[in-house]
Amino acid sequence: MSQDRSYSFEFFPTKTDAGHEKLLATARTLASYNPEFFSCTYGAGGSTRDRTINTVLQLEKEVHVPAAPHLSCVGDSKADLRSLLTQYQQAGIKRIVALRGDLPSGMGMASGELRYANDLVSFIREETGDHFHIEVAAYPEMHPQARNFEDDLKNFVRKANAGANSAITQYFFNADSYFHFVERVRKMGVDIPIVPGIMPITNYSKLARFSDACGAEIPRWVRKQLEAYGDDTASIQAFGEQVITEMCERLLHGGAPGLHFYTLNQAEPSLAVWNNLNLSAR
């Protein structure tokens, strides 16, 4: 099942030294499974820029797994972005996740010289040619700020046509939404790999808040079962593991080109699914 597929893991830069050490420990554990890359997020409006850079460089140099920093254009000038791209090139970074980015609370309308992710992809290509493998985001259940699904599909096509090499989706819990999205954009002429983003289920209340904010739908039957477990963490985790494993099996059997795990800086939930799927290291 794992032949010629891309498996990767995502981290977020932490605010404390203890959190950073935990992140590196998690990364070292996951590195033994030989993922294609580790990605590292970038806070709203570039608010974690320095921590993202430092984390990415450590993952690349110390953990020895290719690192893919998130890069967003909200709030950054072209000069800022050019400087970051140069720094990443000089550090040997070969992959970037190019995003519009989230607006920090109270920031209002987007600032910066580039407004959309397709503008950022074009800018990276203009500045660096083919140096970077560029990942972009895909939203099988529609970006929460999109006017409608058709507009969102067109936005994705623009990112692909601007020079993206592949895409990673927002997480979802309904495999049909992924297959429908891929089918639609294939008919629109997009042929880049679209890798499903996978969010392990470990804490229902946090997942529900985050999903409501980012537009990821938790199917009613999953939500009701998780609610029924109350504070029974072990049952929530066991049920969540089963739900995510079965979805991943369906995705891979249906032709998904890999899986991208949103780890939340923890190894065990993603590895539980990995082991259930009998995925072998590359």
Q: What are the catalytic residues?
A: 10
Dihedral class, residue 71 (left if φ above 0, else alpha if ψ from -120 to 50, else beta): beta
Is residue 102 within 8 Å of residue 44, measured between CB atoms? yes
Among candidate residues 41, 96, 104, 38, the one with its CA nearest the CA of residue 76: 104
What is d(CA 235, CA 231) in angstroms, rounded to the nearest whole number? Answer: 9
Among candidate residues 102, 167, 179, the one with its CA nearest the CA of residue 141: 179
How many residues would you count in the chain? 282
Dihedral class, residue 92 (left if φ above 0, else alpha if ψ from -120 to 50, else beta): left
For residue 135, what are the β-bridge partners? 97, 166
Q: In this structure, what is the dihedral angle of CA atoms 264, 28, 272, 208, given to the nearest 10 degrees?
A: 0
Strands of 174-241 (E only): list them: 194-198
What is d(CA 212, CA 144) in angstroms, rounded to the nearest whole number? Answer: 9
Exposure of 135 by Cβ count < 10 A (0-12 exposed, 13-18 middle, 19+ buried)? Answer: buried
